[in-house]
Structure 1
Amino acid sequence: MKALLMLTGLLAATSALAAPPHVSSGMLVDGHGMTLYVFDGKGLPDAKFCEGDCERNFPPALAAPGDKPSGELTLTLAPNGRSQWAFRGKPLYRGLMDKKPGDRSGDGLNEVWHAVRLR
């Protein structure tokens, strides 16, 4: 019974991690209220623009199985082959340097990472 409760909790946490993006205080955020970013450089993000390991520092904002596009939010394929959220055709990423909702530490990084503002 204890294992079943732990598995149920794990599945609930996994679903929450992949909640669709939404708007909070004029910013596009994930299910935990953490800022989402787009890469505005040429080509794909690389170590130069990510301050090291891109997959670690700016992990893709992955969609949960069964998530559906809505309006300007669409789905694209992440480098790992999973579904990744995109906004206006640009893939969305989380910023590892953000520690709490409302943080935007990656905004403007190397002049190519930008928080998604909706006003």
Structure 2
Amino acid sequence: MKALVGLVTLAAAVSASAASPRVNNGRIVDEHGMTLYSFSGQGAPDANACEGDCARNFPPALASPGDSPNGKLGLVDTATGERQWTYDGKPLYRGLMDKKPGDRAGDGLNTVWHSVQPR
């Protein structure tokens, strides 16, 4: 029982300590070095803005409990009550088509998805 409690405590500590987005090679990336994207279309991302399922291909870059805004990196509440990272007020998304750190397969997709370059 003590081992189970210890594992649960460790898992909670690891998930709560995920790093906030950062700059790497001129782009905003997540804690694993994966490129983050913004959506430049009208309104929220929808089926017309994606090839396939938008929510699956570009899931929101969610913050961990305890994360806080820093400079142009902010947080916004989602419709599901989670907190999503933003950069300069624009929500950030992960690109599931990227396979390794540094990939930018979603950059320019449908002319509305862009890797985020800090200004």
- The TM-score bracket by the shorter chain reads 0.7 to 0.9
Q: Are 1:26 and 2:30 matched, yes or no?
A: no
Q: Which moved more, 1:6-15 or 1:63-72?
A: 6-15
TM-score (norm 1): 0.88
Unaligned runs of 5+ in 1: none
What are the residue-to-residue correspondences of 1:37-52 with 2, within 5 Å? 37-52=37-52
Distance in structure 2 (CA, Å) of the matches to 1:12 and 1:81: 21
Structure with the greater alpha carbon radius of gyration? 2
Q: Which residue of 2 aligns with 1:3?
A: 4
Letter in 2 for 1:19: A
Kindly indicate whether the alpha-carbon contact (under 8 Å) linking 2:34 and 2:101 is maintained by their aligned counterparts in 1.
yes
| Count of residue pairs the alignment pairs up | 118
After superposition, what is the alpha-carbon deviation per residue over 1:50-92, rounded to whole angstroms, capped at 9, x for unaligned? Answer: 2222221111011111211111111112232211110111000
Going from structure 1 to structure 2, the CA distance change for 1:83 and 1:31 (only over 3 Å counts) comes to same
Structure 2 partner of 1:81: 81
Offset, 1:5: 4.5
TM normalised by structure 2 equals 0.88
Q: Give 1:69's aligned amino acid.
A: P
Identity value in percent:
59
Structure 2: segments with no counterpart, 5+ residues: none
* Alignment pair present for 1:112 and 2:102: no
When structure 1 is superposed on structure 2, of 61-70 and 38-47 the one drifting more is 61-70
Cα distance in 2 for partners of 1:73, 1:29 equals 12
Which has the higher mean CA deviation after the structures are superposed, 99-108 or 2-11?
A: 2-11
* 1:15 pairs with 2:16: yes
Aligned to 2:63: 63
